[in-house]
Amino acid sequence: MGTTHPTRPRRGVFDIDRDPHVWQGFVVRTAAFPIADLVRAIDQDPLGVDALLALAEAERFRRACAWQNRSIVTEMLPALHSGRATDNARARRRLRVLASYLQRYYTRNELIGFFGPGVWGTMTSDDGDMIAVEYTDTIRLEPSLETWALIELAKALSHGVRHLIAPHRKPGTHVGRRGAVIAGRRVEMDATRLAVLGAVDGARTPADLASELSLTQADIMAALDALCEVEAVTHELAVAPVLRGEASLIAQVGHDDPAARRVRGILESLVVARESTLEARTADEQIDAIRAFESQFAEIVRAESPRSADASTRRFHQDRRSATVGRTPLSLIGERRARISLPQEGARTANDVARVLRHPARWLTASVGDAFLREFSAAFDTMSPDGAAIPLRYLIQTAYDLSADRMLLEAPRAELFRRWQLVLAGADVSHEGEIDLGDVAQAVAVIEGVFASKRPMWFSGRLHSPDVMWRGARASTGAVVGELHLATVTADEHIGASFARAAELIADGYAAHPGPHPQFVVLHPTGRDETSALSYPSPHLAHDRAVYISLDEPSREFVPTRGRVVSIGDCTVSRGPGGDLEITAGDVGAFPALVVLGEFVSNLVSSAHSLYPRDVPSPRVRVGPIVIHRRSWVLPLEVIVGLSGEELRDVLEEKGVPRHTFWRIGATRKPQFLDSRSELLCASLRDAADRISGDTSAETVSLVEMLPAPEEAWFPDEDGFALTSEFRMTFID
Q: Quick one: CA dihedral 261, 267, 269, 272, positive or negative?
A: negative
Alpha carbon distance 663, 684 (integer Å):
11
User: Where are the strands (E) in 505-620, listed by range?
Assistant: 519-522, 546-550, 564-567, 571-575, 581-585, 589-592
Confidence of residue 120 (pLDDT cuts 50, 70, 90): confident
- Residue 667: per-residue pLDDT: 61
pLDDT tens for each residue of 653-699: 999 999 999 999 876 568 999 999 999 999 889 888 888 766 656 68
- Cβ atoms of 457 and 592 closer than 8 Å: yes
- Cβ atoms of 453 and 369 closer than 8 Å: no
User: Domain boundaries in the chain?
Assistant: 14-19+342-605, 144-332, 631-706
Burial status of residue 128 (CB atoms within 10 A of its CB: 0-12, 13-18, 19 or more): middle
Alpha carbon distance 683, 689 (integer Å):
10
Mean pLDDT calculated for residue range 49-54: 89
- Residue 472: per-residue pLDDT: 93
Alpha carbon distance 498, 268 (integer Å):
21
pLDDT tens for each residue of 433-445: 899 999 999 999 9
- Residue 625: per-residue pLDDT: 94
- Cβ atoms of 47 and 679 closer than 8 Å: yes
- Cβ atoms of 30 and 725 closer than 8 Å: yes
- Residue 16: per-residue pLDDT: 67
**Number of Cβ within a 10 Å radius of residue 501:** 11
pLDDT tens for each residue of 223-252: 999 999 888 888 988 776 566 778 888 988
Alpha carbon distance 686, 642 (integer Å):
7
pLDDT tens for each residue of 184-217: 678 889 999 999 999 998 889 999 999 999 999 9
- Residue 560: per-residue pLDDT: 66
Mean pLDDT calculated for residue range 564-593: 93
Q: 446 pLDDT exceeds 50?
A: yes
pLDDT tens for each residue of 488-530: 887 644 444 455 456 667 777 787 788 889 999 887 654 444 3
* Average pLDDT over all residues of the chain: 85
What is the CA 694 to chain-centroid distance, rounded? 30
- Cβ atoms of 648 and 640 closer than 8 Å: yes
- Residue 323: per-residue pLDDT: 38
Sheet architecture: strand order including 571-575: 390-391, 571-575, 581-585, 589-592
Mean pLDDT calculated for residue range 334-353: 89
Q: 415 pLDDT exceeds 70?
A: yes
- Residue 429: per-residue pLDDT: 86
Mean pLDDT calculated for residue range 700-728: 94
User: Where are the strands (E) in 10-77, listed by range?
Assistant: 14-15, 21-23, 25-30
What is the CA 283 to chain-centroid distance, rounded? 28
Mean pLDDT calculated for residue range 62-74: 91
Secondary-structure breakdown of the chain: helix, strand, coil percentages, each rounded to the nearest 5? 45, 20, 35
**Residue-wise over 43-64: b if at least 16 C-beta within 10 A, else e?**
eebbeebebbbebbeeeebbbb
CA-to-CA dists, residue 528 to 354, 535, 717, angstroms? 35, 10, 38
Percent of the chain scoring above 90 in pLDDT: 51
Strands 700-705 and 632-636, how do they pair?
A: antiparallel
The pTM for the full model equals: 0.86
pLDDT tens for each residue of 541-574: 677 888 988 876 544 335 566 788 888 889 999 9
pLDDT tens for each residue of 287-314: 999 999 999 999 999 999 875 444 434 4
